Amino acid sequence: MHARYYIALLALVATTSQAQSINSSSKEHPSCASLRSQLAQIDEQARQRSTAYLTEQRRKVTERMSELGCSFMG
């Protein structure tokens, strides 16, 4: 009985630590969510009326996202 409990406990600990390591490696820079939001707003405005200003702002945001290693899909 104790052996089964011990094996089940080890399996649970191994699964939990694997999940934690996956989550910690996939974390992004804290600014990424905000930058994705800014990008979405710029795209929405550009669909209404594209301007040189919006094009430049979009370039700056995407450049910063690339520098930080942000995913473009949230």
pLDDT digits 0-9 by tens, 26-70: 689 999 999 999 999 999 999 999 999 999 999 999 999 999 999
What does pTM read for this prediction?
Answer: 0.62
Question: Which burial class, exposed, middle or buried, applies to 26 when counting CB atoms under 10 A from its CB (0-12, 13-18, 19+)?
Answer: exposed
User: Is the pLDDT score of 11 beyond 70?
Assistant: no
In contact, 33 and 65? CB cutoff 8 Å: no
Identify the H or E element spanning 29.
none
The answer to whether residues 58 and 42 touch, using CB atoms and an 8 Å cutoff, is: yes
